[in-house]
Amino acid sequence: MILLSFFNLQGLNLLRLATASPLIRGNDTDRQALLQFKAKITGDPLKIMESWNSSIHFYQWIGVTCCRKHRRVTKLKLRILKLSGPLSPYIGNLSFLRELGLVGNSFYNQIPQEMGGLRRLEALHLANNSIGGEIPSNLSACSKLSSVNMMGNRLIGEIPASLGLLSNLKVLGFVHNSLRGSIPPSLGNLSSLEKLGLTYNAFSGIIPESFGRLRNLSVFAIFGNAISGIVPIVLLLEH
Q: How far is CA 140 from the centre of its chain?
A: 11
What pTM was computed for the model?
0.86
Query: Domain ranges in the chain?
Result: 2-238
Fold of 2-238: 3.80.10
Question: pLDDT digits over 96-120, tens only?
Answer: 999 999 999 999 999 999 999 999 9
End-to-end CA distance of the chain: 81
3-state secondary structure of 141: helix
Pairing between β-strand 123-125 and β-strand 147-149 as defined by DSSP bridges: parallel
CA distance 195 to 218: 6
Question: pLDDT digits over 187-219, tens only?
Answer: 999 999 999 999 999 999 999 999 989 999 999
